[in-house]
């Protein structure tokens, strides 16, 4: 073959050879139900938990590649306990650099104004939670763009969980029913053309994940606060996966996905629950702040 002709054919064919692969990898580190604990809960049988250990796990498992760090909700304690401690918890959580956190009802254990003052620096989402005038407290979703991969994340709070708040605190807020809000929010999300849709869910309804996955099969992944889903093997409903990291911030979930961006499907997945045990070295920065706070509280 004539050399010049060969080069011409090669140049014409080059764009076909250079097509982007349709398979993309994504790692999601996920948590839920911190419940106001800076360190392990005294109720933990094996001494699991703590923000300082969580920081270490995040640093160990997010190096390189496409990674999101997500929380399904309930950062604060379920009842009023210590405002100074909750403020420190927010400060420490900011250092964990979450990609996005869902608002649970416990974020309002101290009232709406307290949350606005303390939580404003955190990256939060809620599609269906409003103030009493019906104004949004956060954007309804966020899209994260990686090279060759777009991931949309939204979050919701169930009516049953909302009812956990005392009447006077609930009166400061309003809630749109989940299915009503998701029907609208998912339409806007689809306009962003994501390859993966993630729902952060604070619910205490039995099998809420199953009913939502069946109603909205376009959701690829549900990260829930439901402790019954805290298993290495995710619950699978059709093409939707549902996972949870369990209770009291004892573990960090790590979900590794391979996504077909041409078909917007999860091709494969591997899920692990990483215990925050005593063998996990505490972040020196985080632990120092916690110990200083504990000392100040004893004076």
CB atoms within 10 A of CB 144: 18
CATH superfamily for 24-298 is: Metallo-dependent phosphatases (3.60.21.10)
* Pairing mode, strands 49-50 and 124-125: unpaired
pLDDT of 18 higher than 50: no
Tell whether the model's pLDDT for residue 28 goes beyond 70.
yes
User: Per residue in 245-262, pLDDT tens?
Assistant: 999 999 999 999 999 999
Q: Which stretches of the chain are assigned E, i.e. beta strand?
A: 23-31, 39-40, 49-50, 67-71, 100-102, 124-125, 129-131, 141-146, 149-157, 173-175, 196-202, 221-224, 235-237, 240-244, 251-260, 265-275
Q: What is the mean pLDDT of residues 206-226?
A: 97
What mean pLDDT is reported for the chain?
93
Closest CA to 172 of 125, 116, 123: 116
- Under the banding of pLDDT at 50, 70 and 90, the label for residue 298 is confident
Q: What is the pLDDT of residue 17?
A: 39
What's the CA gap between 4 and 9, in Å, rounded? 9
Backbone angles phi, psi at 70, to 5 degrees: -130, 150
CB 286 within 8 A of CB 95: yes
- The CA-atom distances, in angstroms, between 47 and each of 31, 41, 170, 251, 257 are 17, 7, 34, 11, 30
Give how far Cα 38 sits from Cα of 56, 71, 94, Å.
14, 16, 13
Report CA torsion sign: 243, 248, 254, 259.
positive
For residue 210, give the nearest of 241, 176, 255 by alpha carbon: 241
Question: Computed from CA positions of residues 115, 56, 274, 66, in that sequence, does the dihedral angle turn out positive or negative?
Answer: positive
| pLDDT over threshold 90, residue 123 | yes
Position of tokens 């190096």? Answer: 63
Reported as a single tens digit per residue, the pLDDT across 275-293 is: 999 999 999 999 999 999 9
From CA 260, how far away is CA 140, in angstroms rounded? 25
Stated pTM of the model: 0.92
pLDDT in tens, 166-187: 999 999 999 999 999 999 999 9
Sequence-ordered list of residues with C-beta below 8 angstroms from that of 46, at least 6 positions apart, any chain: 275, 277
Q: Which of 200, 120, 118 is nearest to 157 (CA)?
A: 200
Tell which wins on pLDDT, 192 or 22: 192
From residue 95, alpha-carbon distances to 36, 46, 91, 115, 286 in Å are 16, 26, 7, 18, 8
In degrees to the nearest 10, what's the CA dihedral of 203, 206, 211, 216? 20
Reply yes or no on whether the pLDDT at 221 is more than 60: yes
Residue spans per domain, the chain:
24-298
Cα–Cα distances (Å) from 86 to 11, 41, 97, in that order, read 61, 15, 17
């Amino acid at each position: 073959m004539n050399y010049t002709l060969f080069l011409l054919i090669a140049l014409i064919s080059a764009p076909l050879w250079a097509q982007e692969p349709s398979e993309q990898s994504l790692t999601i580190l996920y948590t839920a139900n911190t419940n106001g604990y800076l360190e392990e809960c005294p109720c933990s049988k094996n001494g699991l938990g703590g923000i300082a250990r969580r920081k270490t796990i995040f640093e160990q498992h997010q190096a390189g590649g496409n990674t999101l760090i997500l929380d399904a909700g309930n950062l604060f304690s379920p009842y009023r306990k210590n405002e100074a401690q909750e403020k420190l918890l927010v400060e420490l959580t900011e250092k964990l650099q979450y990609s996005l956190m869902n608002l649970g009802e416990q974020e309002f254990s101290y009232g709406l104004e307290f949350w606005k003052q303390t939580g404003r620096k955190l990256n939060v989402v809620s599609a269906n939670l409003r103030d009493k005038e019906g104004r949004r407290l956060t954007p309804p979703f966020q899209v994260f763009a990686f090279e060759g991969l777009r991931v949309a994340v939204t979050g919701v709070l169930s009516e049953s969980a909302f009812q956990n708040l005392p009447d006077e605190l609930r009166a400061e807020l309003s809630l749109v029913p989940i299915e009503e809000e998701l029907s609208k929010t998912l339409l806007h999300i689809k306009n962003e053309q994501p390859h993966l849709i993630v729902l952060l869910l604070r619910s205490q309804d039995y099998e809420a994940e199953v009913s939502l996955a069946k109603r909205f099969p376009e959701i690829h992944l549900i990260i829930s606060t439901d402790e019954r889903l805290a298993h290495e093997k995710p619950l699978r409903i059709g093409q939707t996966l549902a996972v949870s990291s369990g209770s009291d911030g004892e573990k960090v979930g790590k979900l590794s996905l391979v996504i077909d961006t041409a078909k917007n499907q999860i091709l494969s997945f591997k899920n692990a629950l990483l215990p925050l045990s005593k063998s996990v070295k505490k972040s020196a920065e985080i632990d120092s702040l916690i110990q200083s706070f504990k000392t100040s509280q004893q004076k």
